[in-house]
Structure formats: C-alpha cells, structure tokens
Amino acid sequence: MTSVETLLNVEAIRQDFPVLHQEVKPGVPLVYLDNAASSQKPTQVIEAVSEFYRKHYANVHRGIHKLSEESTEAYEGARAKTATFINAASRREIVFTRNATESVNLVAQAWGRANLMPGDVIVLTEMEHHANIVPWQLIAKERGAEVRYVPVTDDGLLDLSGLDTLLSGPVKMVAATHMSNVLGTVNALEGLVQAAHDVGALVFVDGAQSVSHKPVDVQALDADFLAFSGHKMCGPSGIGVLYGKRELLEAMPPFLAGGDMIKRVTLEGAEWNDVPWKFEAGTPAIAQAVGLGAAVDYLTRVGMDRIYAYEQVLLGYALERLEEVPGGAGAWARPVQEGRGGGLHAGGMHPHDIAELLNDRGVAVRAGHHCAMPLHQRFNLVATTRASFYLYNTREEVDRLIEALYYAKSVFAF
C-alpha cells in the first residue's frame, strides 16, 4: 500500500457510502466504476438533504418567516461554499442551474445572442462532450457564426500546433473541456486561455469531470466561465453550477424569465434582479443546493489534492493489471492521459456485451459513446466500455474488474 493510499484512508471513506455495501446478486458484491457518469452519495449528503426537508424547508428569498429565513441562509450558504471550493472572487459569481449542460446553454444563449454576429468564430475541441458542442452549434447557426475545432492527437491530447490559425479572425468564444470524460485527459488550459484572451476571445471551461476530482482554481485558470454538476461530486442530481466573472454576468441578458429574476415588473416591462439571481428564475433547487454544499464540505475535508493523487495511483495500478489481460493494456485502453479515467475497449467484442458480462460479476461500468461521438469517430470507434474511478474505489475493485474482463474474454473466446 502506498503512502498516498494510507493518507486517504479509503476504507473509512467507503463506510460513508451506503450504496457500496450491497450485492448485485447473491454472493456478488457491487463494484461501482461508473463515476464519470455520476458519483455515489455519502451519508453526510443524504442526511443534510433529509434534515433540511424535515426541519427547514420553505421557499427562499423575500419570505420573512423563520423557515424562509433558514432556507435562504442554507441556500445562499451553499453558494458561498461553492465559491470558496473553486476560489471564485465572490459568491455573486456562482449561478445555480440544473446541471452543467444547462450552464453551457445559459451562456450560449444569453451571451451568444447578445454578442455573436454573422462571421464571428467559436472555437471548440474534438474532445468535447456533446453538451459543450451542440449548444454552440445551435447559437452559431442562429447568429451566422462559424465553429472551428482544435484537433486531438493520437495520444489523446489537444493538438495546439495550429492554434494561431484557429484563433485568426473574429474569434469571440473558445470552449474546452478541462478533463475528457472518455480519455481522462487533463488539459493544461492556461496556455489556451491566454492565447484566447490575447485575441479578445472569452473562454468557457467544461469542468464537469475536473472539479469533482482535482483542485480547480478559477482565478488561477482565468476562465471567464466554468460549468460543473453536483451529481458527479457526491452531491444530488438536479443542481449544477455556472461560474462567470461578475462583469460578464452583469452584462448578459437573462436566460429564463419569471419569479426571483426580477426586481420590478410593470405592464410595459421589467427590471432585472442583481447577479446571480438574474439567472435563477422561479423556485430554485433549494434542497439540492443544500446537498451540494454538504458535498463540498465532504470533499474539502477529505482534500481534493489527496483525492486526485490517490486516483492517479489507482489508475496506474489499473493500467498495470490491464497489461496482464491478453492483448495488453494497449488493446484495452485508448489513450489514457493524466486523469482519473479511461475508455476500455476490445476488438471482436461489442462494448455493450463487455458491460453486460461485467455486470454479471458485479462490476458496474458504462458502454456507449459517452456523449462524445466526434471523439470516438476520431479514433475510429463506435463505442467504448468505460471504467471510471473515484475516491471510494480500491485496488481490490480493480482486481475484480480484471477478473471480470477475463470472464468476458472466456465467454466470447476472442
């Protein structure tokens, strides 16, 4: 056992996650390796949400009774915790959304409609999740803008050799993932951010995978916008975050209209609320935000630096064990760079068949294109079977994965 694993005390962490202690079928314990899709929830988060509903729930803002004040304090407290977690300059730079996808759409629609003109350019990468491609394609078509793409190398890295050409002309927005949900690649975005700013473009970072697994400092990164979801970081589903520099959020028109995003309404028009509430129309996901705040507390106590270091050790061990499987790691893992996950695949067997056979042995993975069709096309793959790790996974679970892969190979004899 390495010093990193000892420091993290994974066995103690696992006791916090009730769902991990069950059997898929009699005698077959669960091995949950679908963390890139969604993480499991610790007791501390479950109890925080339950306690809020039992004792403190009411609608937030404007209410002057005790429960409303307590609910507002909890909701806004979660905003403050989230701001600290990613080192935002102010809690006013944190907008609560339903998920990272809604955060992308908010910026694409609200900022895009106010700022994109025919002939303008949006630069994306071939590595993006569909949620960071399709919203930009839609607004580009609506506004007459052009979409360009940073290619991906054979090693699964961003190919920035042609960046000067990609950033030529009226580039208004560069949107890139911080960590690939397929390759596990962690993109060192500082250079790309600086290059984009040098030509007057803004930068949107998809942090859905990175924020849950490694320390992220939005001020150091100098991202103009960054999005992530609560459900991938031990929090509830139904709550997402959009970070935006305050001056940009203040300049943007609202995305949705209705209660709480207004200060004053007349029959002739309306005056918008201050940020971030200008972008939070209607009754928000109050309990989900409280759960997110509890998840932030939990991850902060464990330590994001230690979580990331541990996951690197675990991933390294997984790649070593994959070498033992006939064909070697090269046959089972597409380019897996610095990061906490990768895509497993094997010629001669469909990824869904692998996933189904692994499930027979209690190993939960995900098969498909993982909402990243262009990236799979880049590597001439239709789909992959993805095993992705988190702070509660163990070496023993990696061993279970390898055993299940041997089983899958024996069934199909390839």
C-alpha 375/C-alpha 334 separation (Å) is: 11
Q: What is the CA radius of gyration of the chain?
A: 22
Pairwise CA distance, residues 355 & 287, whole Å: 34
Closest Cα partner for 300 from 239, 241, 234, 244? 234
- Concerning whether 371 is annotated as a catalytic residue, the answer is yes
Half-sphere exposure of 292 (CA within 13 A, CB side): 35
Please report, for residues 131, 318, 321, 327, 359, the alpha-carbon distance to residue 324 in angstroms, rounded to integers and kept in the order given: 36, 10, 6, 8, 21
Contact (Cβ atoms closer than 8 angstroms) between residue 105 and residue 252: no
259 φ/ψ angles, rounded to the nearest 5 degrees: -60, 145
Expressed in angstroms, the distance from the first to the final Cα of the chain is 34
Active-site residue, selected from the candidate residues 24, 160, 331, 371: 371
- Number of Cβ within 10 Å of residue 152's Cβ equals 21
> Cβ distance 224 to 202 under 8 Å?
yes
Q: What type of residue sits at position 280?
A: E
Residues 292, 194 contacting (CB under 8 angstroms): no
Residues classed as catalytic: 371
